[in-house]
Amino acid sequence: MTYILGIDTSAYTTSIALIDEKTGKILADERKVLEVKEGQKGLRQQEAVFQHLKNLPELYSSIKEDLSKIHVVSVSSRPRNVEGSYMPVFMVGRNFGRVISHTLKSEFIVYSHQENHIGASLIDNYKNIDEFLAVHISGGTTEFISARKIFRGFETKIVGGTKDITFGQLIDRLGTKMGFPFPCGKHMEEYIRDKKVQKLSTPRPGKGPCINLSGMENYFVNLLEKHEKDEIITSMFEYIGECIVNILHSLSGLGFKTVIISGGVASNSYIRNYILNCLKGYETIFPSPKNSSDNALGLAYLPIIDRWYNENKAD
């Protein structure tokens, strides 16, 4: 029995995963959300780096399996799979993984954080999909991507998204004004859970694959003095779902049959349900809500996905 170790050090979560290389069985899935002080709206990179340096040894030492059996160390080294993509936080996981692989004389593989999200979405579907649209919606990213499986990871190209703030930033900026802890999405979702709320009237989303959101931030903020929180939150979540559906419909001419939707915002049940009920013309794949948010499972599975593809489908 040999293992694959995945490591991801993103802007807000330290993640480690261990799987059986042959069967894909998950042996460990450890995550620790970085601490954001009350009243702050995020973390500076140096603060996040410091917390990753503290968290990684703790998470690694919590794994009970025989770590000498790690055959592959798979890490995220950059945000996107493009030249010049860089964030300091990813260097922590990359360097930690490099030391482990050197010590154990195991294979060392690097992917992007975005490929990690795609991998987490395809754990149960990778044998059927070569080309697809990938939607990555998180606190710092709103990108619609054409993706194609290649020898290692995915070849990607941005084909849509937001021109200014992201969906995650819209949620967090409104949420902090309402008094919710940062990051705000899960707290806002819990606040409206099981409530029957009438949706407020909102402007129609912009047309085309690229839209602006900053105007809607001002729109929802202006509603705070006139309407209840639950009404505003429900309306905002539905607006985000409508934006995603509209952008995907505008990209239908690209000919993709499958869309994968991942990232922290994709874990929101209200946004998910809106998309599943309203999006037509695509097979829609969501990872589990837990694996929509930042994790290292995608990284652990990517070497398996690569191996299967190269043995069975590569030219």
User: Per-residue confidence of the chain (315 residues) as pLDDT tens digits?
Assistant: 999 999 999 999 999 999 999 999 999 999 999 999 887 778 899 999 999 999 999 999 999 999 999 999 999 999 998 888 999 999 999 999 999 999 999 999 999 999 999 999 999 889 988 999 999 999 889 999 999 999 999 999 999 999 999 999 999 999 999 999 999 999 999 999 999 888 899 999 988 999 999 999 999 999 999 999 999 999 999 999 999 999 999 999 999 999 999 999 999 999 999 999 999 999 999 999 999 999 999 999 999 999 999 999 876
| Domain match, 81 and 175 both | no
182: helix, strand or coil? coil
| Domain match, 181 and 230 both | yes
> Is the residue at 182 inside a domain?
yes
235 neighbors 202 (Cβ within 8 angstroms): yes
Position of tokens 């402007």?
Answer: 203
Task: Quote the pTM value.
Answer: 0.94
Q: How far apart are the first and last CA of the chain?
A: 30
> Is the residue at 213 inside a domain?
yes
| Domain match, 103 and 193 both | no
| Domain match, 72 and 106 both | yes
> Is the residue at 128 inside a domain?
no
| Domain match, 251 and 305 both | no
> Is the residue at 178 inside a domain?
yes
| Domain match, 165 and 281 both | yes
Residue 225 belongs to domain with CATH number: 3.30.420.40
For 222, the domain range is: 160-286
> Is the residue at 195 inside a domain?
yes
| Domain match, 14 and 113 both | yes
Number of other residues whose CB lies within 10 A of the CB of residue 313: 10
* Biggest CA pair distance of the chain: 62
Number of domain units in the chain: 2
Position of tokens 């959101």?
Answer: 213
Residue 195 DSSP class: -
| Domain match, 48 and 88 both | yes
> Is the residue at 119 inside a domain?
yes
Residues β-bridged to residue 156: 147
> Is the residue at 153 inside a domain?
no
